[in-house]
Structure 1
């Protein structure tokens, strides 16, 4: 079987942010054999390797990527009882819809999130009261160090808030080819999130499909559903993680904001730690919805979404990122962390 590796393929059109240069080499992998062969090719040619899914959580440099980009296109969903084995190239929102149509509870609040299944365990995707780590049984990966396929259990994935071993200690080592989920047949939908409770207030208990659609409506209202007709959706999703800081920081934050400690929005995050909403910090620092800095800006619907306002470059996005980080650091003493992956 001939492997036709393409050269100098533009990456910007393959991302939701729409910025960045080309991949020196590019290939769409449709099965595990191709993943193995292409990984071996990259190793022999001493080429950096990057795996691309739906392009929804990426910031590609203007120079592009000097190595081999593998776009994951392994599809298929197989069900064994309450476990679903899902190819890494399956579109995430399509899979969510399939589960709610089948009456399977567990990921209904993760509807409308762009990208593919393979990317969800990497950053432990979560929204509206759910995280994928709550339902993942195991993740099948190609280990580029050993050259073997492995099945990593939920515990072995090292899941934490928006992280896993795949984007921390073992970044770049594993190529996800399949994710196995355990969902609950007939389970009641998750209505932990305030926006969802408000949406269904005074109405009968909603179905899983109704909750999934409500989440899409809420996300669309924030410009967080990919839509060619909505310039606010030309983003990489939430650009900054909600910082987790020592509880003592609350006093400094309240003084800097000129409000009482109790007025600072925060949540418990383990012993002696709290989580602060990054969106609130940005707003307090002057980066409000609709803020513009040249061709980059902030969504007019969602404070955390840094957007490409039209023909922006990665340098434009980075300049805005640096201004935001520096201003929040100066005002609150808190270091914001970027959520999208840098590709360079």
Structure 2
């Protein structure tokens, strides 16, 4: 047995009353007041049991039919921030119930716990796995017994302020299948569920969980291309010839993965002009610096269940792998657009593009 070393605490409050310093954030001039405090968490005795780390990942929810309700990279309007953002993980159904145990999908140690009812992620647990990934479990209604002591301590100390608790490496180990929290709708969740997010160890990138966690279910769904837009004008998606004016044809497509119960975003898009690939987007990973740049990738009328994907980029984005549209499009060319989901299903749209 041993004593936990002091956990590092950071506290934020969204008004000016905490009296430390005020910094300006974002383009909208919104002011946020931050108070960074250090305090010693009371000593907690932990009995260590010897265990062997096991390979692979399990599904984090028991006794609920496995179902993905949102995919990586979807468009999200924000209720707490000025700009929309990308959905940086996958959402898993808890049958609309709070209090469902959320299990660690693999072995690791707890690096951080966020205690905040109103942040985008709400109550969140961060688990480091294999010194390679940080696994995030968000929108929790409560924490496991192992973590509840710390959460209740900081809430007594800081009230409703946002608090991030950081733990030294390997102090709080978790095993695959161990309960780390309970499903909820804290943060910007509109219904109880489990948000699973995977970040690089340096915390700079989010990675598509479907590419790593093989226990995530393949949905029974159909890939659809519902609409096309050229230079801001909506066109009939079934037409074989489309026209445009000017030097370039800036194309957007309305695409989705339709299940029996909901709508999911796609994984990738490629566009070819006369068999030359000129654009490619893939949601394999998203830099955290791109988090609030969803409007750069999605077109107008996009929302949390309707996705217009731009097939051009005005600035560099981590998910845009190729962006080489010609400065002047040919007077007549053949365009091929290939949309693909996370599980390899593809949908192709072909048409002739002619300058008016």
TM-score normalised by structure 2 residue count? 0.29
TM-score normalised by structure 1 residue count? 0.29
| Larger Rg belongs to | 2
As a proportion of its length, which structure holds more helix? 1
As a proportion of its length, which structure holds more strand? 2
